[in-house]
Amino acid sequence: MPAARSAQRRIGRPRQVAGVDARELLLEAALTLFAEHGVAGTAINEIAARAGVTPAMVHYYFTNREQLVDALARERLLPIVTAVWSPVVEADALVPMVRGLVQRIVRATEVNPWLPSLWLREVIAEGGQLRARLLSELRFEYVQHLANTVAAAQRRGAVSPELEPRLLFISIIGLTLLPLANLRMMRQVPLLHGVTRQDIARHAEGLLGSALSMRPRRRLPRRSTS
């Protein structure tokens, strides 16, 4: 009887690996490798080896690479993006809204160290294999709310009219994910030794906060030359 139960266990769903679901191990391994080498540059065998399972388990859970990438976008990246962006609608003022957004981005990269590199490789870069998958699922009303808040502040005269509200979220990404993705390289530059995630967050908050708090300067009338 024990032998029969053992045989039944080997049929169907693979057993967990050291108490951890093999599917979760594969997702974590894929995220790390995709961030390091890109989706196209990572073989299924490498993902299995990093997860400590056989390649057969990859095909058992995901059938093929496309399903694995779909699962990463839907189950890992989309929840992170939603958790970072959705609280913007709860802020009462523009500057706290932006500072909170910066802080959540940085915290997300601390919990998920693969995030900045993966985002640059597979979402921002041309040909990235996660871009279309995310764009089809993302709820852009959070970004729209941010743009609307900037536009309203401009109408009140509290923010320079030279800023483009629709591009603010691009500026936020550029001031956070870009340097975070290159943090290791930056530390090789003598001037940037010791730069931390917190330094990047403080710099981004300060720069954005100053830009969004500054009232536009009144243009003085031109003196007549006659």
On whether both 134 and 118 belong to a single domain, the answer is yes
State whether 120 and 26 are in the same domain: no
Q: Is the pLDDT of residue 17 over 80?
A: no
Measure the CA–CA gap between 8 and 197, rounded to whole angstroms. Answer: 50
pLDDT of residue 221: 55
Convert the pLDDT of each residue in 34-82 to its tens digit.
Answer: 999 999 999 999 999 999 999 999 999 999 999 999 999 999 999 999 9
- Long-range residue pairs from 60-65, CB within 8 A, at least 24 positions apart, any chain: 60/14, 61/22, 61/23, 61/26, 62/26, 65/39
174: domain CATH number is 1.10.357.10
Instruction: Say if 179 falls within a structural domain.
Output: yes
pLDDT number for residue 224: 53
222: in domain:
no
Range of the domain at 204: 70-213
Please name the residues in contact with 98: beta carbons below 8 A apart, sequence gap of 6 or more: 146, 168, 172, 205, 208, 209, 212
Which residues have CB under 8 Å from 76's CB, separation 6+?
27, 31, 112
Q: Same domain, yes or no, for 91 and 196?
A: yes
* CATH number, domain containing residue 54: 1.10.10.60
Number of domains in the chain: 2
Residue 193 · residue 185 · CB < 8 Å: no
- Choice among 7-11, 27-31, 56-60 with the minimum mean pLDDT: 7-11
Mind listing the pLDDT tens digit for each residue in 124-163?
Answer: 999 999 999 998 888 899 999 999 999 999 999 999 999 9
Is the residue at 2 inside a domain? Answer: no
**Which segments of the chain does DSSP mark as H helices, in order?**
2-9, 22-37, 44-51, 55-62, 65-71, 78-85, 94-111, 115-119, 131-135, 141-155, 168-181, 183-186, 197-213
Give the pLDDT score at 218: 55
Q: Is residue 90 part of a domain?
A: yes
Instruction: Clarify whether residues 27 and 108 are in a common domain.
Output: no
Helix (H, G, I), strand (E, B) or coil at 20: strand
What is the per-residue pLDDT across 67-123, written as a single tens digit (0 to 9) for each? 999 999 999 999 999 999 999 999 889 999 999 999 999 999 999 999 999 999 999
